[in-house]
Amino acid sequence: MNIAWIIVVLLIIIFLQGMIYSKWGLKGITYHRAFKQKTVFEGEQIEMVDEIANNKLLPVPWIRLESKMSGNLKLQSEIGKSKEEEMFHRTLFSLFPYQKITRRHYLIGAKRGYYPLETVSVTTGDAIGFGEVFDSFNAKTAVTVYPKLVPIEDIPLPSHSWLGDITVKRWIIEDPFLQSGVRDYQKGDPLNSINWKATARAQSLQINKKDYTADHYLMIYVNFDWDEDIRLPIDNPVRIEKGLSYAASLATYTLEQGIATGFGCNGYFVEPFTNTTDRMKSSIRIEPASSGQQSEYILDSIAKIKMDRSRNFRAFLQEDIDRGLTKTDIIIFSRRVTEKMEIQMARLRQLGNAVEVVLLEEDAGKVGEENVS
C-alpha cells in the first residue's frame, strides 16, 4: 500500500470517528453537582463535588465542563485576591466505557451571600480534536454563606451594662406552659421535668427547658442609608457589611441568652427570594422570637440580603410607628444619624420603646443613649 492509500485510509478513519463522536459523544453522559455543605460562615471551606458518568460502550477521550460561578467562591489559591465578578469554573475529564468519576473541589466562602449554580456547559469531541459537540446540563445547587461572626466584646455597643439590663428584664420568671427545647439535667432540677424520650436518645438525663415570660423584645436594625435618595448607589458597602456582621453576631449572642430577638433593615432579598415584579420591594423585618430556629433564620436572612435599598431608613422606621410598635428595645447599626431619623426615633421612644444607635465609622461611638426600659 503506497503512501497515498495510507493517507486516504487515515482521512476516512478521522472522518468516521468524528461522525461517531458528533452523534454519540454525549449520549449516555450524566452529570451531578452538589455542595457538601448547604450553609457555611464567611471564610469557611466549602466542598463541591462533581460526578460524571459515561453510561455507554463508547469511550470519551475528553469532555470539558464549564459553569459560571461567583468570584466570592474562591479556590484556596485565590484567597487574598479582591476579584468578585463572575468567573468560569472549568474541569476536564476522560471517560472509559461505563466509568464514573467523582472529583472534589475545595472553595472558600469569601463573602456573605447566596450563591446558586444553575447549569453546566458540556463539550466533547473526537480523539483528534477536529470536531466538538456542546450541550447544557441542569445542575442546580446552591450554598449560603453566613456573615462572619465577631466576639460580642468587639461590637461597639452603647454601654457595658446595656445587654445585662435587657437580660435581667427578660429572665424574671419561667413559664411552665412554654418550652424552648431540652437541656442536660443539673443538680436540683425537679424529676417531673425530665424528658424521657430525649433522655433515651441522648443516653443521659434531659430536662425540658422552659421559656420565659417577657413583655419586651429586642430588634436589631441595619441602616443602609448614607443619602436618603434610594436611586443613588450605596457608596461604601464595606461599612454596611460590617453592620450586618455585627447584627448577626449580636443576634446569635442574645438568642443564646434566651432573649427574644428580631432583625430588620431597609434592604431586600436577592432573587429568587424577592418578587421582582413588585414596583417597590419589601423591606426585611423578622419579628422577635426565642425559638431554637430563630438564630438560623436570622443568619440565613442576612446572608440573602442584596446590597441595595427598598426604601430609605426614615420610611423603614415609619413602618414601626404606623403599626404602633411598643415595649421593644431597638439597636440600630448605622453610618450616620440624620435629623429626620432623630425625629422618628423620638416618636418610637414616645411609644414605649428604647432606641440606641451604633455608628459604623472608624471611631464607632454612642448616639442617643437612653435608659433601657
pLDDT tens digits, 104-151? 989 999 999 999 998 999 988 877 766 788 888 888 999 999 999 999
Residue 82: pLDDT over 50: yes
Q: Name which residue leads in pLDDT, 233 or 51.
A: 51
Please classify residue 266 by burial: count the beta carbons closer than 10 Å to its beta carbon, then call 0-12 exposed, 13-18 middle and 19+ buried: buried
Segment 329-349, tens digit of pLDDT: 999 999 989 999 999 999 999
Ordered structural domains, the chain, with CATH: 24-146 (2.60.40.1530), 152-172+214-367 (3.40.50), 179-213 (no CATH)
Predicted local confidence at residue 99, as pLDDT: 94
Instruction: Output the nine-digit C-alpha cell for 281.
Output: 420591594
**Least confident among 105-114, 144-153, 231-240, 288-297:** 231-240
Report yes or no: 150 and 246 within 8 Å, Cβ to Cβ: yes
Predicted local confidence at residue 166, as pLDDT: 62
Q: Name which residue leads in pLDDT, 247 or 201.
A: 247
Q: How many other CB atoms sit within 10 Å of the CB of residue 96? A: 10
Predicted local confidence at residue 167, as pLDDT: 59
Mean pLDDT of 184-189: 70
Mean pLDDT of 291-308: 94
Residue 31: pLDDT over 70: yes
Residue 171: pLDDT over 50: no
Predicted local confidence at residue 277, as pLDDT: 61
Specify the pairing of strand 100-109 against strand 73-75.
antiparallel
Quick one: DSSP state of residue 147? P
Q: Of the candidates 364, 289, 295, which has an alpha carbon nearest to the alpha carbon of residue 332?
A: 364
Angle at 305 between CA 181 and CA 258, to 5 degrees: 25
Predicted local confidence at residue 20, as pLDDT: 76
Report yes or no: 171 and 211 within 8 Å, Cβ to Cβ: no
Enumerate residues 6+ apart whose C-beta is below 8 A from 91: 50, 64, 65, 103, 105
Alpha-carbon distances, residue 13 vs 4, 56, 94, 125, 267 (angstroms): 14, 21, 21, 15, 62
Q: Of the candidates 219, 238, 241, which has an alpha carbon nearest to the alpha carbon of residue 298?
A: 219
Predicted local confidence at residue 368, as pLDDT: 42
Q: Name which residue leads in pLDDT, 90 or 181.
A: 90
Please classify residue 75 by burial: count the beta carbons closer than 10 Å to its beta carbon, then call 0-12 exposed, 13-18 middle and 19+ buried: middle
Mean pLDDT of 61-88: 78
Predicted local confidence at residue 230, as pLDDT: 80
Report yes or no: 100 and 52 within 8 Å, Cβ to Cβ: yes
- Residue with cell string 458518568: 53
